[in-house]
Amino acid sequence: MAARTARRWGQWERRLLYALGETAADARVAGAARALSWSGEHAAVWLLVGLAGAATDRTQRERWLKGTGLVGAAHLASMGIKRVVRRPRPGLAGRAPLVRTAGRHSFPSSHAASASAAALALGGLRHRSLGGARHGTPLAALAALMCVSRLIAGVHYPSDVLAGAALGALTVRLGTRGPRRRGLPDG
């Protein structure tokens, strides 16, 4: 039963990868997937957002730096898990990946881990120089696009991206928990 479920899941993942890969026939989609992949390498875009926020928003500098640290922690955690799991990247017949990758292993997606961590840790901050606007919606949208771009590029299975996003969310959750006090709920 478990083997049949795993086989069906694998078939579904491959069908989704082929379907999303077909969207890359549009040069704009392929270009966007490449740009997102490049900017998300080693969590670069998210670390830059966090550091820029810390440099320009003195009232919340500590929160920007903590969020940036959580993004880095999510990325490092994903890299550590990859070294243990060692799942090879998808090899789709008749379709070369759109981008080169820093490593051979795909589970979990480090791009998805850092993207979800950034959306959660940095997205809720209000930036005074932007009229107090929250970054939540733009960062969440960019994070979602980053995750999908890894599927379009053909370098991750959907389960890699889901696991990476969950890891990023877990990292932020654990990193933002307040100290437990007797009789008080977690903060």
Tokens 């080169």 correspond to: 100
What's the rounded mean pLDDT across residues 5-10?
A: 86
Q: What is the pLDDT of residue 129?
A: 53
What whole-number distance in Å separates Cα of residue 37 and Cα of residue 149? Answer: 7
What's the rounded mean pLDDT across residues 17-26?
A: 87
Q: Are 21 and 154 in contact (CB under 8 A)?
A: yes
Encoded amino acid at 143, one letter: A
Per residue in 141-185, pLDDT tens?
A: 999 999 999 999 989 999 999 999 999 999 999 998 865 544 434
pLDDT at 139 over 50: yes
Question: What 8-state DSSP symbol labels residue 59?
Answer: G
- The pTM for the full model equals 0.85
Tokens 């799942």 correspond to: 87
Q: What is the pLDDT of residue 75?
A: 97
Per residue in 89-138, pLDDT tens?
A: 988 777 888 888 888 899 999 999 999 999 999 988 865 555 445 556 78
What's the rounded mean pLDDT across residues 16-26?
A: 87
Q: Are 71 and 50 in contact (CB under 8 A)?
A: yes
Q: Are 118 and 44 in contact (CB under 8 A)?
A: no
Tokens 């759109």 correspond to: 98
